[in-house]
Amino acid sequence: MMRILRRDMEELVGTCRREIPRAFESDDYTHRVEDALKEVQAQTKAMTDELDQRASDAGFALKPTQTGITPVPIADGQPIPAEQFASMSKEEMEGMRERAEKLQHDLGHTTVELKRLGKVAIERAKDVDTEVVRFTLTPIVDELQTQYAEFPEVVEYLGRVETDMADRQEIFKPADRLLHHRYPDSRTTAIQTNYSQATA
Parent domain of 138: 43-199
In a domain, 37, yes or no: no
In a domain, 100, yes or no: yes
- Characterize the bridge pairing of strands 60-65 and 68-75: antiparallel
* Overall domain count for the chain: 1
In a domain, 8, yes or no: no
Give the end-to-end CA distance of the chain in Å, rounded to a whole number: 63
Alpha carbons 121 and 44: distance in angstroms, whole number? 10
In a domain, 188, yes or no: yes
In a domain, 105, yes or no: yes
- pLDDT by residue, tens only, the chain of 200 residues: 789 999 999 999 999 999 999 999 999 999 999 999 999 999 999 999 999 999 999 999 998 888 778 899 998 888 998 888 888 899 999 999 999 999 999 999 998 999 999 999 999 999 999 999 999 999 999 999 999 999 999 999 999 999 999 998 888 888 776 654 444 443 344 444 444 443 34
In a domain, 12, yes or no: no
In a domain, 169, yes or no: yes
In a domain, 5, yes or no: no
DSSP for 177-192, please give it.
G-HHHHS---HHHHHH
What is the pTM for the complete model shown?
Answer: 0.73
